A and B are shown apart, each in its own frame.
Chain A
Amino acid sequence: MKELKNIRDQFPILNQKINGYDLVYFDNGATSQKPLSVIESISDYYKQSNANIHRGVHTLSRTATGLFEKARKTLASHFNVKNDQQIIFTAGTTDSINLVVNGLSKNYLKKGDEIILSSYEHHSNILPWQLWAEENGGKLKVIPLLEDQSLDLSKLESLISSKTKLIAIAHVSNTLGVITDLEKVNSIARKNNIAVLVDGAQSAPHMAVDLTKLNVDFFVCSAHKMYGPTGIGLLYLSEKWLKDLPVSKPGGGTINTVTFEKTEYAENALRFEPGTPHIAGSVGFSAAIDFMNAVGIQTIFDHEHQLVQYAQQKMSEIPEVIIYGKSEHKAGVISFNIKNNHPFDVGTLLDKYGIAVRTGHHCTQPLMQCLNIQGTIRISFAIYNTKEEVDFFIEKLKKVITMLC
């Protein structure tokens, strides 16, 4: 890819030494780095356009409102959503999920109802449901794993009962990189009249997501894993839920009229966006989406896929390496361990060579229990990572193994 050099130049943070070595940033699953266009869009916003949005009569407020609502349109178009009001700005994936759980618990979820999750859910897509279940005598059911650590969707129907109200599922496992067959999940859910929430935190950064085609009830993701800023994410609501999801986080800006007796909430996205939103964040998020589309989502996916294939091949030649998530359908992530070694030691020593990886349970402790391990070492790629970086990583991984074994 001849433009790769140009792409790397867009990320000034990559051009630095860590412990005397060139930084190799393989922790993109946790957060990606930000290109100049995103950084500058935020700084320009504060330099030129900052004002509080909506209901402002003055020019600057109208400019800021315009930028915020343009960001919503950019996201709607990116995810192929016709009505941009179906895109709600939140603080991120976790915030989005909580907004859905709290809204649904008002009248959709009843005492004793059941929710289906997958074995590889992130804690963010377990804990809010678990808390609801604990307080309401609800029950969580879990889709098991197959040998290759993809989901055993043949078991999904047997988990469904008359009390099943929702399936909350990761589009891509943050720990394993395995891609969920959402078409299959959704068709089973539709047949049984069950709502579906998709945690897209790890899919949206790596692949094209067409929400009209996907046709799920809720989709959530975070800007900071998609070359955008921290502190902002989105919640997509289907047309039905844009009308039906009750407000659970009321506040300024969410209303049409208020009296001390009764409030009439806005009918559009604003009803779910109380208080002053992260306006600069929305501008940065929009710039990040523009960056991804300028590079090309398919280009990003193909590039990362090649890196995964290449790294996995090289790693499988090292006898001490155990790779988790052997499924062919993977996006951008490799989780592994070194036989008889703690992931923490490996991560600590790789950092000494300037290689940033993540170690531990990756906020998926139930998955760790399924695999009967304490944790893994995870490398995760972005568009700016290179084959040369993978070669350097492999060389140093071998060195670390000789140090530890």
Chain B
Amino acid sequence: MTIEEIEKEIIEEFEMFGDDWEAKYEHLIDLGKSLPLIKEEFKTDDRIIKGCQSRVWLNSELKEGIVYFTADADAIITKGMVALMVRVLSEHTPKEIVDAKLNFVDTIGLKEHLSPTRANGLVSMINKMKADALSFS
């Protein structure tokens, strides 16, 4: 699937919940549990994404022209957001990742619920994923 197709899939998933924010957050929490976890030995300070209030670690690897992301976070809602980003961006080429518009964050109605700090954390996370992809291209 292309990045846009995955975004569409996520949007549809979240549309099912309508205005039920509790269900939305419960889904996000479940998604957090599905995150492809970073290896413990990679959970180093230099892999912590700055700007997040909770700790988020991200590792990026290039295999045969495809970028693979693994990550972890110590807050579960943050971890859910990380899981969404990894699901959308992982296993694509560096160019696809760098060019991704990522409109889904606004559409699924989570950005409005994020505190400015957390929203900045999200921006930092996207920037880091794109910067890593760029370094592989």
Residues of chain A at the chain B interface (Cβ within 8 Å): 19, 341-342, 344-345, 348-349, 352, 359-360, 374, 403-404
Chain B 48-82 near chain A by CB (<8 Å), digits 1 or 0: 00000111000000000000000000111110000
Question: Is B12's CB within 8 Å of the partner chain A?
Answer: no
6 closest residue pairs by CB, A with B: A342-B75, A344-B75, A345-B77, A344-B54, A345-B75, A345-B76
Q: How many interface residues does chain B have, given as a range?
A: 10 to 19
Q: Which among A342, A344, A349 has the highest number of chain B CB atoms within 10 Å?
A: A344
B29 close to A348 (CB less than 8 A): no
B78 close to A344 (CB less than 8 A): yes
Measured between beta carbons, the chain B residues less than 8 angstroms from A19 are 21
16 contacts between A and B (CB under 8 A): A19-B21, A342-B54, A342-B75, A342-B76, A344-B53, A344-B77, A345-B76, A345-B77, A348-B113, A348-B115, A349-B77, A359-B53, A374-B54, A374-B74, A403-B26, A404-B29
Beyond A403-B25, A404-B29, is A341–B76 a contact (Cβ under 8 Å)? yes
Q: Which among B29, B53, B78, B115 has the highest number of chain A CB atoms within 10 Å?
A: B53
Residues 1-48 (chain B) with a chain A CB within 8 angstroms: 21-22, 25-26, 29
Q: How far is the CA of A360 from the CA of B53 in the complex (A)?
A: 8
Q: How far is the CA of A58 from the CA of B26 in the complex (A)?
A: 65
Measured between beta carbons, the chain A residues less than 8 angstroms from B115 are 348
Measured between beta carbons, the chain B residues less than 8 angstroms from A359 are 53
Q: How far is the CA of A46 from the CA of B94 in the complex (A)?
A: 58
SS class, residues of chain B in contact with chain A: helix
Measured between beta carbons, the chain B residues less than 8 angstroms from A404 are 29, 76
Q: How far is the CA of A374 from the CA of B56 in the complex (A)?
A: 13
A352 close to B25 (CB less than 8 A): yes
A352 close to B21 (CB less than 8 A): yes
In the complex, what's the smallest C-beta–C-beta distance from B27 to chain A, in angstroms? 11
Measured between beta carbons, the chain A residues less than 8 angstroms from B29 are 403-404
Q: Which among B26, B77, B113, B115 has the highest number of chain A CB atoms within 10 Å?
A: B77
Measured between beta carbons, the chain B residues less than 8 angstroms from A345 are 75-78
What is the chain B residue whose CB lies nearest that of A374?
A: B74
Residues 81-137 (chain B) with a chain A CB within 8 angstroms: 113, 115, 118
What is the chain B residue whose CB lies nearest that of A340?
A: B76
What is the chain B residue whose CB lies nearest that of A404?
A: B76
In the complex, what's the smallest C-beta–C-beta distance from B22 to chain A, in angstroms? 7
What is the chain A residue whose CB lies nearest that of B114?
A: A348
Measured between beta carbons, the chain B residues less than 8 angstroms from A403 are 22, 25-26, 29
What is the chain B residue whose CB lies nearest that of A399?
A: B22
Q: Which among B25, B26, B55, B118 has the highest number of chain A CB atoms within 10 Å?
A: B25
A349 close to B75 (CB less than 8 A): no
Partner of A349, one of B25, B54, B55: B25
In the complex, what's the smallest C-beta–C-beta distance from A390 to chain B, in angstroms? 22
A342 close to B22 (CB less than 8 A): no
Q: How far is the CA of A345 from the CA of B32 in the complex (A)?
A: 12
In the complex, what's the smallest C-beta–C-beta distance from A17 to chain B, in angstroms? 14
